[in-house]
Amino acid sequence: MRFIPLAVAGLSALVLTACTTGKEAGPSLGAPKPSGASSQALPPATLELWHGFSTDAEVKAFEDAIAGFNKKFPQIKVNAKKGIQDDQITAAIRGGKAPDVAASFTTDNVAQWCSSGAFQDLTPVIKSDGIDLTVLPAASRSYTEFQGKRCMMPLLADAYGMFYNKALMKGEQPPKTLSELTELTKKLTVRDADGNIKVAGFMPSTQYYENSPSHLGPMTGAKWYNEDGTSAIGSDPAWKELLTWQKDLVDWFGYEKLEKFRKSLGDEWGAEHPFFEGKVAMVLDGEWRTAMIANDPEAKSLDYGTAPLPVSDTKPDLFGSGFTAGSVIGVPRGAKNPQHAWELVKHLTTDTESLVTLSNALRNVPTTKAAAESPNLSDDEKFKTFLDIFSHPKTSTLPANINSVFNQDVFSTFLIQWEKGAVKDLDAGLKDVDKRINDKMKLSGG
């Protein structure tokens, strides 16, 4: 699992912007159960669960987690449908053919789903079942609700940190500050006689794989929105600090040289990943990369380490934190068996054994404290780095917003112009980003 690229998430956003209340097809999650009522007493039913997992290993892991639910509720059968994307979920809800439970890999659509009522509010059943949401870090609570309405629960999470090649580091320790990252990047970069890059200490380009603004922003504590929901990108000095540092490093490489090198690199999801091949010494990446390295016949012998991302020299308290997002799951409007569906959602997101089963198989971060501390969790040293990042009190996420995909795209497009040197006034450019985001918000009724 990983934080879904904007190009993919955007497909569902196009559908969501036109989402209306749609057809009502089935009951809603009702009032809290009477005192003493047992969930196990639910009548027999068959649930339809849609999820995005597609590989054999992913599907088996999900089926194993569901098997634990079947032990608790033998009268409830679960038919799981794999490889489902957000646009398919939204279309089914609008057409009155929603599944009982649906899971998504991205948090980009949570605001739309919550505000439109596409997914049912889970607050009443969470309260009636006495679920303590403080077992979840604040960031994961944040990306599963919008404006006080919780229509999703976090399933598994991604946490972002640094991977470093020990051989290329030549005994150096991973950097803790941006100035240390700059110094080490320059020290580890190797060029040929013509100045072309052969090995990059670190890739500062925002067009490089996981270097999106949402993943980089926590390095300086940058925020996306003000309390009133307007864009904070142009007014938060943390963004200017980050982009100034980033552009200085791009300029040191030389933009054209950096782009030539970037475009020569292998596929992020293939065996020719530049980190696997020793072409980049340090990379920003998610915890799932540990599993990809272990499962790659050639990369599994790679001698590497993991660490938190370096942070602003003026904000050392941020060190150890990072960015998090994750898969989410809920009960769509129109679910035929909403009470049964809630029991399945509750099991998959709060049952320790279920979360540990999924985490061990998929190598994503379990979201509850109990699961993260379970002795049954395979938490090797490299993976533990990401457990610690996820649980850090200053780890942040991209707040839910009805125009989340649009807002990220506007900023990412600006950053391409910025790093190539086409933006002469950073302050003015960031204010223009704010304006575009805020104008879109007004059109959306925000």
pLDDT digit string (tens) for the chain, length 446 residues: 554 444 333 333 333 333 444 444 456 775 444 433 455 689 999 999 999 988 888 899 889 999 999 999 999 999 999 999 999 999 999 999 999 999 998 899 999 999 999 999 999 999 999 999 999 999 999 999 999 999 999 999 999 999 999 999 999 999 999 999 999 999 999 999 999 999 999 999 999 999 999 999 999 999 999 999 999 999 999 999 999 999 999 999 999 999 999 999 999 998 899 999 999 999 999 999 999 999 888 898 999 999 999 999 999 999 999 999 999 999 999 999 999 999 999 999 999 999 999 999 989 999 999 999 999 999 789 999 999 999 999 999 999 999 999 999 999 999 999 999 999 999 999 999 999 999 999 998 76
Q: How far apart are CA 82 and CA 99, in angstroms?
A: 12
Q: Which residues pair with 197 in a beta bridge?
A: 191
DSSP run (H or E) holding 102: strand 101-104
Pair 13, 406: CB distance under 8 Å: yes
Rounded to whole angstroms, the Cα distance separating 28 from 269 reads 40
Q: Which of 404, 394, 401, 16 is nearest to 228 (CA)?
A: 401
Distance CA 335, CA 96 (A): 9
> Alpha-carbon distance 238 to 218, whole Å?
9
Residue 26 backbone zone (phi > 0: left; psi -120 to 50: alpha; other: beta)? left
Q: Are 136 and 368 in contact (CB under 8 A)?
A: yes
Residue 359's closest CA among 421, 301, 287, 416?
Answer: 287
CA–CA separation, 289 and 308 (whole Å) = 14
Take residue 317 and report the two structure tokens written for it. 């308290």
Q: 150 in helix, strand or coil?
A: strand
